[in-house]
Amino acid sequence: MNQYETVFIVTPVLSEDQMKEAVKKFSAYLKESGAEIVHEDNWGLRKLAYPIQKKSTGFYHLIEFKCEGDLIQRMETEFRRDERIIRFLTMKMDKFAIAYAIMRRKKMADQAQTQKVEE
């Protein structure tokens, strides 16, 4: 099994509940298809580098998962079919990307821990 990460952008015209429903749909699709979700991260509403479908912002979401390679094409077909998704990118992670992702998650956890201590 290979490890992948997918970042997708959900249209900003949705309510927060609708956005969370779209994210749950793809997480559930991965789990049902036999993928193991390693990490999920909601990056929130961000400005796009250039307008997409006349929209200048979008909700970004990252999912890291392990699966067989044939699942990627089926998942990307689901992204294309869902009108709530305006862009997506799936990348196969090599050992360096996996190490960097682990280090990034640890750093974020440490920052959250120090933030709680300061409060």
Residue 101 lies in a domain: no
> Interior CA angle at 80 toward 74 and 81, to 5°?
90
Considering Cα of 90, then 25, then 108, then 87, what sign does the dihedral take?
A: positive
Please give the torsion angle defined by the CA atoms of residues 102, 106, 107 and 109, in that order, rounded to the nearest 10 degrees.
140
Residue 57 lies in a domain: yes
Give 35-73 pLDDT, tens digit per residue: 999 999 999 999 999 999 999 999 999 999 999 989 999
Q: In the chain, pLDDT over 90 holds for what percent of residues?
A: 74
Residue 100 lies in a domain: no
pLDDT at position 91 over 80: yes
Q: Which residue type does 19 have? A: M
Supply the CATH number for residue 6's domain.
3.30.70.60
Residue 54 φ/ψ, nearest 5 degrees = 65, 25
What is the pLDDT, as a whole number, of residue 16? 87
Q: Which residue type does 28 have? A: A
Q: Which domain holds residue 66?
A: 2-94
Task: Name the domain count of the chain.
Answer: 1
Asked if 82 and 62 touch (Cβ cutoff 8 Å), the reply is no
Q: Strands across the sheet with 55-67, in order? A: 36-52, 55-67, 2-10, 85-92
Residue 82 lies in a domain: yes
Asked if 84 and 13 touch (Cβ cutoff 8 Å), the reply is no
Residue 110 lies in a domain: no
Residue 31 lies in a domain: yes
